[in-house]
Structure 1
Amino acid sequence: MNRVVITGWGVVSPLGNQVDAFLDALLAGRSGIRAIRTFDASALPTRIAGESDLEGDAATLHRDRKVAFALHAGRTALRHAGSPLRGKSSVVLGVGLELFHLPDLAVMRRLGRVPEGVDPQTFLQSASDESVALLTRMAEATCPGSIHISACAAGTDALGHAFHLIAQGRRDWVLAGGTDSMVNPLGVAGFCALSATSTRNDPPEKASRPFDRTRDGFVMGEGAGALVLESMQHARARGAEILGEIVGYGNAFDAHAISEPHPEGKGAAAAIREALADAKLGIEDIGAINAHGTSTPKNDPAETLALRTVFGARAGEIPVSATKSMIGHLISAAGAVEAVAALGTMNRDLVHPTINLDEPDPACDLDYVPHRAREHRYDHVLSASYGFGGHNAAIVLRSRRACLAR
């Protein structure tokens, strides 16, 4: 089996679109949640989100924001990885649900009267695979790409799939990650209808509060994360800078309910166990955990139970951070962006905080690193993502220091 290293990364996030600035903001405990600006949300119960800003051509290149986000993050990751990237290659991406935007609905209303007025790009630019197609062309990838539509686990599933493609020798390198933007009238209204989002609109930065007793739902976010993964042999042959390593991936499907996790976190626990087994690591090897941490009433205690199930008495000794407390829930992009957060902070010998954890829920009794970043030297971090419909995924990342020492 090939070792799989990370040699480039890029993000689009509510805390900025450059990795170092993004990591700095996380470690400072800064929130990217604001009142929604991209549309008038005044009639909705939820009027806040973690919106991401792109300036210049990148923001207007595509009508679909998630495609623009994917292209920016992917281009940044490829430039960071450097050249030459040769050999068998693919793009693997977690992508979001296809919800029509309101301009699309207006076109559909006109369809019966003026069919010749419909722009075919309306359909091509809403295709689930558009981001992969454009990134494949950008990266000059030589093998078929793929998409993952496993809801909130999609970004982590994409990284795991890419990891296995390289580990098994089927690819030399892969551009992998996730992208999503559901901060639009239909996306926000849909999650409001599910009573899934926080209605704590004022102040916005206090709304996302994973593991806090007063949490009332997640906060929508948007963005993208992209990582260049390579076999160790390929990376060393071209003299690439190595940022770290993916050493294990697991996924599980519990199918408990469409919109809530199994109350005992059974699927989550199964995915974590599989990731540890894939990495050939024990529970004593994990130095920190990047939690799914959505700030919903049902996810947070279920996730706590899953971690206690897997790690036993050691669960309370491991620092657990919730990135979503600062950027909201990036849905299909969450796993990729949080992998960057997990690896980047580990390489700095720090764990970022979980902000807004003012009143810990007794049912969420682990060390969730409240309020402030913490110095902590460790070499393996678990990053987990759990999605609507019962999708559960986890990856284990190894630090740059430990990767290069092997």
Structure 2
Amino acid sequence: MNRRVVITGMGVRAPRARGRDAFWELLSAGRTATRRISFFDPSPYRSQVAAEVDFDAAAEGLRPAEIRRMDRATQFAVVCARDAVADSGLDLATVDPHRMGVSLGSAVAAATSLEREYLVLSDSGRRWVMSPDQLSPHMFDYMIPSVMPAEIAWTVGAEGPVAMVSDGCTSGLDSVGHAVALIREGSADVMLAGASDTPITPIVVACFDAIKATTTYNDDPAHASRPFDATRNGFVLAEGAAVFLLEELDAARRRGARIYAEVGGFANRCNAYHMTGLKADGREMAEAIRAALDEARLDATAVDYVNAHGSGTKQNDRHETAAFRRSLGDHAYQTPVSSIKSMVGHSLGAIGSVEIAASLLAIEHQTVPPTANLEVADPECDLDYVPKQAREHRIDTVVTVGSGFGGFQSAMVLTRPRGQGERP
């Protein structure tokens, strides 16, 4: 069995963007969401800026008991899942619960709650010996990442395959790829898939400070994230989430669903090289792109837009550019490439799903979102990175990619559904 899989619903919570429409408005306008960190005093840290989500759990419809029980990242995921179901128009009462599943990605899971509870138990680090009578009754929920997809399963009544995917910064792509495989092979008919991360905490900020991966443009937050720019000096940490409803193509057509895109192909590779280092030739990412295109039965010339990982580190941007040249050949120079991290930062495991959402909306609006803050060209990054302003462009096929610590490289091919403006 090899069924075709489409995306018919989405929910997004991104920095300065509540929901799908606000998210696209921010991207298409080229606005940046980076600001000085407000969740805690960032003064002691090397990098003091981030892209925060303005999120009110009560206003989002979560009950007090849910807010108390769920970590912030879990709250994001549940709210996005509800939006995805509503957006799809699918009546879940018509779906066999044993044929519906969840695949959720996250890099640091309940980091927000774990750090908060550590500060409570240790009296802000002053006590080495901690009293168990101060332990939160919900500590299990914070310690076990699989609680996150379980919460979505309880919300939608999914009793089929439920999984947590944690591959660092490719988690948001890999979780959707896993969901696609389950539908294709016949293990599920409907999947809620995506990712959520809320890593803007002192310990995560300190970790990236230690390896000098994040930006030091603290005096100019709006222009701190500069993918592919010669003056870039690190990524902007962010939080966010996106969840999608995926289903089999024929079933979606029978019920008259609006289809964002078909997932034509997905592949991931590992460079088996270094925890944070990347080979300059981009070979592993290029192989993932080629394999995803092969699965979609498309050649390089079919690609209309590449949604880049584009983190804003020199190592990544040059590695990625080499991968595009290697996988797309001469067509790489005719294909617009952009990084939305220039606007919404890098939300670690969530960003792959947030970038899928951007790719779906680029297809819907036939517009390439820009790479904001791209002012000074890096001679080693010589492709068309769509600087500063969105561009109207015919988009039938998008390749969206991710790169993560541990050497993970992932690529997904999204195609406009046939009958919705395909090329003659």
CA distance in 2, matches of 1:350, 1:366: 18
Output the amino acid matched with 1:146.
A
The TM-score with structure 2 as length reference comes to: 0.92
Please give the alpha-carbon distance, in whole angstroms, between the structure 2 residues aligned to 1:404 and 1:212. 34
Match of residue 291, structure 1, among 308, 311, 336: 308
- Give the drift of 1:263: 1.9
Q: 2:258 maps to which residue? A: 241
Deviation at 1:113, TM superposition (A): 5.7
2:83 to 60, 65, 76: 76
User: Greater CA deviation, 390-399 or 111-120?
Assistant: 111-120
| Residue aligned with 1:10, SS | strand
Q: Specify the alignment match of 1:212 in structure 2.
A: 229
One-letter code of the match for 1:51? E
Aligned equivalent of 1:359: 376
Indicate conservation of the 8 Å contact 1:266/1:306, yes or no. Answer: yes
3-state SS in 1 of match to 2:160: coil
Distance 1:369 1:107 in 2: 49
Output the amino acid matched with 1:161: H
Distance 1:290 1:19 in 2: 17
Q: How many residues matched?
A: 406
Q: Secondary structure at the match of 2:265?
A: strand
Distance 1:241 1:327, change over 3 A: same
Contact 1:245 1:403 in 2 (8 A): no
Cα distance, 1:333 vs structure 2: 0.5
Worse-superposed segment, 105-114 or 21-30: 105-114
Q: Contact 1:272–1:393 (CA<8 Å) still a contact in 2?
A: yes
User: 1:93: which partner in 2?
Assistant: 104
| Residue identity matched to 1:64 | D
Distance, in Å, in 1 between the alignment partners of 2:376 and 2:128 is 53
User: Any idea what SS the aligned residue of 1:257 has?
Assistant: coil
* Secondary structure, counterpart of 1:386 in structure 2: strand
- How far has the Cα of 1:401 moved from its partner? 5.7
Aligned partners of 1:296, 1:129: CA distance in 2, in Å? Answer: 31
Matches of 2:81 and 2:103 in 1, distance apart? 11
2:12 is aligned with 1:11: yes
Aligned to 2:31: 30
Partner of 2:148: 131
Report the RMSD for the aligned CA atoms in angstroms: 1.8
2:118 to 104, 111, 116: 104
Using the TM superposition, give the Cα deviation of residue 173 of structure 1 relative to its aligned residue in structure 2, in angstroms: 0.9
2:179 paired residue among 162, 175, 193: 162
1:276 paired to 2:293: yes
Which has the higher mean CA deviation after the structures are superposed, 236-245 or 366-375? 236-245
CA contact 1:77–1:227 (8 Å) conserved in 2: yes
Q: Which runs of 5+ in 2 are unaligned?
A: none
Contact kept, 8 Å, 2:403 with 2:410, in 1: the verdict is yes
Distance 1:402 1:222, change over 3 A: farther
Q: Could you tell me how far 1:95 is from its partner in structure 2?
A: 1.1
Q: Which structure 1 residue ranges, 5 or more long, are not aligned?
A: none
Go from structure 1 to structure 2 and tell me whether the alpha carbon gap of 1:278 and 1:387 turns closer, same or farther (over 3 Å shift): same
* 1:194-252: CA deviation from partner (whole Å, max 9, x where unpaired): 11000111210101000000100000010100010000122233332222211110110
1:392 aligns with 2:409: yes
Contact 1:261 1:388 survives alignment (8 Å) = no
Q: Please point out which of 263, 269, 276 is paired with 1:259.
A: 276
Matched residues in 2 for 1:342 and 1:300: separation?
A: 19
Alpha-carbon offset, residue 312 of structure 1: 1.1
Distance 1:34 1:251 in 2: 33
Q: Distance in 2 between matches of 1:74 and 1:226?
A: 5
Deviations 1:78-104 (A, max 9, x none): 111123231311100111225431432
- 1:108 offset after TM fit, Å? 5.2
SS of residue paired to 2:259: coil
CA distance in 1: counterparts of 2:288 and 2:54, whole angstroms: 33
Residues 105-144 of structure 1 show CA distances to partners (whole Å, capped at 9, x for unaligned) of: 4325779463233223123234211210100111111212
Q: Do the aligned residues in 2 keep the contact of 1:379 with 1:401 (CA within 8 Å)?
A: no
Structure 2 partner of 1:347: 364
Amino acid of the structure 1 residue aligned with 2:4: R
Runs of at least 4 residues off by over 4 Å: 108-113, 400-406
Secondary structure (helix, strand or coil) at the match of 2:329 reads helix
Q: 1:107 to 1:4 in 2, by over 3 A?
A: same
Correspondence for 2:209: 192
Letter matched to residue 390 of structure 2: A
Q: Paired residue for 2:238?
A: 221
With over 3 angstroms needed to count, the CA separation of the structure-2 counterparts of 1:361 and 1:233, relative to structure 1, is same
Pick the aligned partner of 1:315 from 309, 313, 332.
Answer: 332
Percent of counterpart pairs with the same letter? 39
Equivalent residues of 2:396, 2:416 under 8 A apart: yes
* Counterpart Cα distance in 1 of 2:129 and 2:43: 32
Question: CA 1:367–1:186 in structure 2 vs 1: closer, same or farther (change >3 Å)?
Answer: same
